[in-house]
Structure 1
């Protein structure tokens, strides 16, 4: 789409690459570009899986561009359709998104990682939320992180701004796998291809139910599923793919998913 946001497509997989030297920091214009990119991915019926990565070796992303802020970019400015970095507030993102993390994920860069469904990181990666030192709030991380890892560990990161190395992140379950840098992209694409071969309507239902159930009691969420109140669940039940899954099992063959 631009020199800053590059994309690569392989079949039903879209790789989105943030390339903004030196630290892949995100200003308002970059955030809006990212939002348009992820929105286009969401709305393209031919695409099933996205990979989010960045260029360079030192930084995955330094997050919010403080130099741009000092030059006039307002913190509460127009981030675009998906909120900051285009992903964390994008409505109805019901397709799997994989983070391919190499280097330091700082502040909003860490929050971008948290917006993904699966996180694979190189052994050279690390994470931090230094907003406390700048006298501001790591808003998305404050909401998400205590739900992903133990509360006291999340509070430690938020209140001190300390660094968490990738081994600790993996120990707390924040990262799916830690890999040597030279093996990282190969593994991410391996997982992306596996997901791309899976049932897209089921993936959509998993993402919507998991997201919306956060604000519901268990029984309320179950009632919404059984009564087909979730749009993606209603689409799934009675679909060609739903029937194909049953037939493939009965016929002892691999299913052929069509997304309808």
Structure 2
């Protein structure tokens, strides 16, 4: 049985970590399968949005410690932990979180563009409780996403926070009742209604501009955005608006 399963529906690729008996702890095989699925997401024009979730009511409990003791590392060269954290896909990726997103599971989650969580979900980087550190992105990325002192508290105490608190500090986009995947699919379908090239470039600018100097921002953006305004989709979007119909996107 595979550690990861995938399915696609209406242009959405759903990637499921499928190790419920181990709380979806990340293995080398799972990381490689996720990397392969993300490559497919970016290369297949029929796919526009990805969702990553976990089977059995848990998102991901982090690194598989039994594998760690055997010398296994759930890292893919060039892509990092879980085949994701160092090289996210170019297309939007949503984390659908039920249960626990802990340690590497939280780091996997924050590497995604958007997060939908069940109201009962729990979040944390408890590595310090095991004499480890959240070195798969948590220590570096959390301060970019939430207030510095809250990130520091999570890292130094290893304590968990609930979904409502995660929403309040901006770690989660939406909190839902019921399965997070259902709400994530709704969000993905909303994104899918928009021009795929415009969506991809918008993500690119938001991500890359965090590292741009203030004085170079406009020039750097001007190197990326024109292809959107000169695209067939831009003309189609304007025509569809004028003709009061849904646009027929081509992604070019």
Query: Do both share a fold (TM > 0.5)?
Result: yes
Question: Cα deviations across residues 70-102 of structure 1 (Å, max 9, x unaligned)?
Answer: 11214xx752452211222226x2211111100
In 1: Cα distance, 2:85 partner to 2:236 partner = 33
Per the alignment, residue 99 of structure 2 pairs with 103
User: 1:244 touches 1:257 (CA, 8 Å); kept in 2?
Assistant: yes
SS in structure 2 opposite 1:169? helix
Q: Does 1:90 align with 2:82?
A: no
Per the alignment, residue 17 of structure 1 pairs with 16
User: 2:164 touches 2:175 (CA, 8 Å); kept in 1?
Assistant: yes
Per the alignment, residue 254 of structure 1 pairs with 246
SS in structure 2 opposite 1:181? coil
Counterpart pick for 1:168 among 162, 165, 169: 165
In 1: Cα distance, 2:65 partner to 2:49 partner = 31
In 1: Cα distance, 2:141 partner to 2:43 partner = 25
User: 2:237 touches 2:247 (CA, 8 Å); kept in 1?
Assistant: yes
Per the alignment, residue 49 of structure 1 pairs with 49
Per the alignment, residue 68 of structure 1 pairs with 67
User: 2:24 touches 2:59 (CA, 8 Å); kept in 1?
Assistant: yes
Structure 1 residue 3, shift from structure 2 partner = 2.0
**Count of residues paired in the alignment:** 250
Per the alignment, residue 147 of structure 1 pairs with 144
SS in structure 1 opposite 2:47? coil
Structure 1 residue 123, shift from structure 2 partner = 1.4
Question: Cα deviations across residues 186-234 of structure 1 (Å, max 9, x unaligned)?
Answer: 32211111212211111111111111111112341211222xx23xx34
Question: Cα deviations across residues 101-138 of structure 1 (Å, max 9, x unaligned)?
Answer: 00011100001110111111111100110112233321
Q: Does 1:7 align with 2:6?
A: yes
5+ long unaligned stretches in structure 1: none
In 2: Cα distance, 1:141 partner to 1:234 partner = 34
In 2: Cα distance, 1:8 partner to 1:100 partner = 15
In 1: Cα distance, 2:174 partner to 2:148 partner = 22
What CA RMSD, in Å, does the superposition of the two structures yield over aligned residues? 1.8
